[in-house]
A and B are shown apart, each in its own frame.
Chain A
Amino acid sequence: MRINRIAAKKLQTEPKEVDLSLIDSLIKKYKGKNGNLIPILQGIQAIYRYLPESALRKISDETGHKLSDIYGVATFYAQFRLNPVGKNIIKVCHGTACHVQDAKNITTALKEHLKIEDGQTTPDGLFTLESVACLGCCSLAPVMMIGDDTFGKLSGKSAVKVIRDIKKKENN
C-alpha cells in the first residue's frame, strides 16, 4: 500500500538553512493555476533534490494548498523524497526482466559494500541506494543507473567495482 511510504519517510530536521527564495519564481509561475501542485513539487525537488519541510510550508502559505494535502501528494508518488539524498543516486532496477536475471544479487552486494539499507544514504553523503522498476533497457538486464549513466549486464562484483571507481574519482 502506498501509505506505507509515510512511516518510512518521516520529516526529519533539516540539515542546514534552506534558501527559500529559490522557489519564488516557481510560485509565481504556478500560483492560481489548476492542477499545479504536482508541478510545484517537481519544481522544488529539481531545486533541492528533495522536498524540504520549510519549502512545503511556504508553498502552503502562498498558494493556499493545505499542508495536509501537500503532504498527501508528496507521500503518494514514488518520485518525491522527504529526506536529503546523496550526491550519487544508485537506482538498481528490479523490473521483471532484471528480477529474472537476479537483480537482488546486485542490491545485496551494494548493501553490503556501502553498509546501508535500500533507500538509505551513506554517512558521507556520497551515495543513496534505491530500487526502481524497469529502466527500459531490459535486454541489458540486470541494470543499474547512476546519474545519467546506465550500467548493464551486471554481477554483484561488477556493480561494486563501479561504486569503487566513483569513490576513487570523488576522492581525487
Chain B
Amino acid sequence: MEKLKLIVGMGSCGIAAGAGKVFDKIKYLQNNEQLDIDLDQTSCVGMCYREPLVEIIDNNISYLYGGIDEEKVEELIEHHQKFHLPIKELVVKTEEFKTIDNEFTDSQVKIALRNCGYINPERIEEYIANNGYKAITKIAENSLSQEQIIQNIIDSGLRGRGGGGFLTGLKWRFANNNKNAEKYIICNADEGDPGAFMDRSVLEGDPHSVIEGMIIGAYAIGANDGVIYCRAEYPLAIKRLNIALAQAREKGFLGKNICGIKNFNLDIHVKEGAGAFVCGEETALIASVEGERGMPRKRPPFPAASGLWKKPTNINNVETFANIPWIIFNGAKEYAKYGTEKSKGTKVFALTGKINRGGLVEVPMGITIKDIIYKLGGGIQNGKKFKAVQLGGPSGGCIPAYLDDTIVDYDSVNATGAIMGSGGMVVMDESTCMVDMARFFLDFTQKESCGKCTFCRIGTKRMLEILTRITEGEGKEGDIEKLEELSYQIKDSSLCGLGQTAPNPVLTTIKYFRNEYEAHIRDKKCPAKSCTKLLTYEVISENCTGCTICAVNCPTNAIDGGKKTIHFIRQDACIKCGACLTKCNFDAIKIS
C-alpha cells in the first residue's frame, strides 16, 4: 500500500478561504500524531467556489475534495487510511466517477493554465517534468531561427491577452526588425481590472511558464534584459516569481549562452508596481519602470522602436507569455485547432459576480456566453434571473441576457459594444442596477485618470457627477443625451486607452438598458431596488413586535412608536440609510 499523499491548494484565494489553516493542521498531524502521510502544496485550479481544496492521492488514484476545513481534513485522512475509499459527497473531481463539478471542468481546455493547480509552483523540477523548458530546449536542439519562431507564433494566431488583441508574432517581428544591440522584453503583470485575477493565478500557480515564454520571446526579438512589472498587491505572486527566477538561473535557463545557444544572454527581474491602473498601459508602464509618474505618452514611436530607456522594447501580457512554450512545443497547428477564424486558441476568464460556480476558467474561443454562464458557471445564484455580463472591466461593456448566444471571440464581442478585455467576466442578476454599475466603473476610471488629457480628466468627472445625480434621484431630462455626447468627445480626444475606453460601460448600459436610466430620471425609481436614495423603507405591521430596536437605531429619529406598538417610518425624515432594515430581527422592514 502506498503512502497517502495530500496536496493543499494554496493560491491567494485558497488561503483566503482557509487553506493555510488546513495545511498547518495536516502538518501538525504529521508531526504530533506521527501520521505517515506526504504533504505538498499547489496553487489554484480555478474552482474558487469550492475552496479550500485538498487533493488526496490514495493508491495512485486522485480525489480532489472541496470545502475542506481543519475538522474535515482529519476525518478524510482517517477514512482514507482505514478504507482506502473516498468520501463521495465531498469529492469534486476524480477519474473514478462523475460529480456535478464535471460540468465546470469538462468544457475547459487548459493551455495557459495547464499546470495551475497540478504542480508545486515553487519547484522547478515539477514544471520540467510536465514538459517545462522543453520548448526552449527544442529551439536550441533544432537551431530554430528567430524568424522561424516568429512565423510559428504568427501561424498559431495567438493575439495579445492583455486586452488589445494584437497579433503577438507580428509585434515580435516589429521588435526584431530593429537591429539595436540592446533590447528589452517586459511582461505586463499589472492586472489593473478591479475584478479579475487571471494573471495572478498564472503567476502564483505556474511562474515558470511565464518565464519560459519570456525567454523564447527574448530569443525571438534579440532582447538581453527582461522585466516583469507586477503589482505590489500580489505579494504571493512576487514571492513565487522570485523563487522561480532564482531556480531558472541556477539551472542555466537564465544567464549566459542559455541552453547552449551562443551569445543568447538574458536575465529577468521583477519590478513592483505601486498601484496605478494607468500603469497597465505600455508607455505608462515604461515610465513607471524608469521610476517616474506613470503618465502615458504619444505613440509612435511605439515601444518596439523606442521603449524602456529609449531602447526597443516588447511588452506582452502574462497570459500571452504563458501560451508561448506550449505553442512552440506542440506546434502552431495544434494551437490553431482551437478557436474561431480570427481568434485562435483559448482564453482565461475570471468568472465572478452572481454566479453559482465562480472561479477561473479557460475555454476555447468560440464558446457562447450562455455556455459559460449556465454550463460552467452553473447558473445564477439563488435562482435569480440572469441580466447581463460585464466583460473587460472599466474599459469594457456589458452584454445583456438576450444576447447570450454571442460567441467569445474578439470580433463578436466587439460587435456588442463590449470588449474581450483581459478576462474579467462579472455576472449580474436582476438585483444589479445598471446605472449604478456604470457609475461604479466611471468612479474608478475618473480616479485613475492620470490627468494629462483634459477630456479624460474633466470629462469623466462631469459624467460621474451626472451618473451620481441620476442614481440619487436628481436626474434631469437630457442627461442621457449629455452622457452620450461627453462619451464620444472623451473617446475622440484622449491620448491613451484609458480615456478612449472609459465611456464604454456607460454607452453599453445606455444602449441595452436605456429604460433603467429613464426609470431613474423620470419616475425616480430604481427597477433593481439597488439605489438606496430611491427606495422607501416601510414597516410590515404583521411582523412588527414593537421591540423599538429600529427606532433606537434610527439616526434621524424618523421612526415613531413605543414599546409593544407597531412602528411607523416618517418618510419626510427618513434618510434611507437602511439601519432599521439591518437591525430588525423580525423581518418587519421592507423596501420598495
Query: Which residues of A line the B interface, CB within 8 A?
Result: 1-4, 34-39, 41-42, 72-73, 76-80, 94-101, 105, 108-109, 132-141, 143, 150, 152, 156-157
Top 10 A-B residue pairs of the complex, sorted by shortest distance between their CB atoms: A96-B195, A133-B194, A78-B275, A77-B274, A150-B16, A139-B48, A138-B352, A97-B352, A139-B358, A37-B291
A94, B350: Cα distance in complex, Å: 16
B15 within 8 A of partner (CB) = yes
The answer to whether A2 touches B290 (Cβ under 8 A) is no
The answer to whether B451 touches A136 (Cβ under 8 A) is no
B322 within 8 A of partner (CB) = no
The answer to whether A136 touches B352 (Cβ under 8 A) is no
A16, B380: Cα distance in complex, Å: 54
Q: Most chain-B Cβ atoms within 10 A of its Cβ — which of A1, A76, A95, A96? A: A96
A130, B10: Cα distance in complex, Å: 26
A94, B444: Cα distance in complex, Å: 10
Q: Most chain-A Cβ atoms within 10 A of its Cβ — which of B13, B196, B354? A: B13
The answer to whether B290 touches A97 (Cβ under 8 A) is no
The answer to whether B16 touches A95 (Cβ under 8 A) is no
List B residues 440-466 near A (Cβ within 8 Å).
440-441, 444, 446-451, 457, 461
With contacts A1-B461, A4-B447, A140-B17 known, is A100 near B274, CB below 8 A? no
B12 within 8 A of partner (CB) = yes
**B-side interface mostly:** mixed
The answer to whether B291 touches A143 (Cβ under 8 A) is no
The answer to whether B195 touches A138 (Cβ under 8 A) is yes
Q: Name the one of A2, A35, A96, A97 contacting B289, with C-beta atoms under 8 angstroms.
A: A35
Q: Name the one of A42, A96, A140 contacting B194, with C-beta atoms under 8 angstroms.
A: A96
The answer to whether B350 touches A138 (Cβ under 8 A) is yes
Task: Digitize B322-355: 1 where CB-to-A-CB distance is under 8 Å, 0 elsewhere.
Answer: 0000000000000000000000000000101110
Instruction: List the one stretch of B73-81, B213-221, B424-432 in contact with chain A.
Output: B424-432
The answer to whether A138 touches B358 (Cβ under 8 A) is yes
Residues of B within 8 A of A140 (CB): 13, 16-17, 48, 51
The number of inter-chain residue pairs (CB within 8 angstroms) is 142
With contacts A38-B291, A138-B48, A138-B195 known, is A1 near B446, CB below 8 A? yes
A2, B498: Cα distance in complex, Å: 13
B140 within 8 A of partner (CB) = no
With contacts A95-B195, A100-B353, A136-B12 known, is A3 near B451, CB below 8 A? yes
With contacts A2-B450, A136-B12, A150-B15 known, is A73 near B292, CB below 8 A? yes
The answer to whether B293 touches A94 (Cβ under 8 A) is no
A97, B446: Cα distance in complex, Å: 19
Least distance between A17 CB and chain B CB atoms (Å): 27
**Complex A-B: 30 CB contacts under 8 Å:** A1-B451, A1-B461, A2-B278, A2-B451, A38-B272, A42-B272, A76-B450, A77-B274, A78-B276, A96-B440, A97-B195, A97-B353, A98-B195, A100-B352, A100-B354, A100-B432, A105-B578, A108-B577, A134-B193, A136-B12, A136-B200, A136-B234, A138-B195, A138-B358, A139-B51, A139-B359, A140-B16, A141-B352, A150-B12, A156-B582
